[in-house]
Structure 1
């Protein structure tokens, strides 16, 4: 009966089956773009752009020549930062959900052990763990 009383107090751990697997088209695009940008072909493409741009000084005046590379790199950098930020934010959220699930599961195991053994020290450690990771507020919700 004691375990049932504590069960209603505890937030349940977020398990993989509880996570919504629907990902928006932008999130899928951002993931693929960041994966592509982290590989050698993207770097090679950047080198190719510079190699094509550099000799164009012959046909262009100096200010136009600089404007082309400055504008191109600024636009690419701006877009890549937005895509990479999206990917990193989702990775951070996923990691936080995993950590919350582990901490919640550990707190449940500690509760079961304290119920069986009656050790007050384990109950205090469980409470300390839950406070430390913010499970009282259930940040993952």
Structure 2
């Protein structure tokens, strides 16, 4: 589960995380394969080949549509958590470079480059 950036997870966020966890397991893939295996012989009982294709197309389209929305939620929260961690590392590195710059004057320039690259001052003042 991605680290939460905003605090407590909402019901939808918990549902999306659980769904992402379940769909990433082998069991979900096996379920999908079994669904296709069960669907394939139904052309014998459905009135036309068009109906037969419509059944699987509709089912897979609905599942795909819903999963994309849920997985995007999880991915966005994961991206936010990673960005927050990278920002914390950059802040800590800049602080360390600032403390060591008395002994190593070239670190002033490197610290300024780091601050410009990740926007430390802009974030600190906001």
TM-score bucket (shorter structure):
0.7 to 0.9
Give the SS at the match of 2:121: coil
> Where do residues 1-141 of structure 1 align in structure 2 (5 Å cutoff)?
20-60=6-46, 61-114=48-101, 116-117=102-103, 119-138=104-123
Give the SS at the match of 1:23: coil
Deviation of 1:20 (Å): 4.4
CA deviation map 1:4-59 (0-9, x unaligned):
xxxxxxxxxxxx9xx54301111111111111111111011111111111111111
**Runs of at least 5 residues in structure 1 that lack an aligned partner in the other structure:** 1-15
Partners of 1:68 and 1:58 in 2: how far apart?
Answer: 13
Q: Which has the higher contact order (CA 8 A, sep 6+)?
A: 1
Partners of 1:107 and 1:51 in 2: how far apart?
Answer: 57
TM-score, normalised by the number of residues in structure 1 = 0.79
Coordinate RMSD, CA, aligned: 1.8
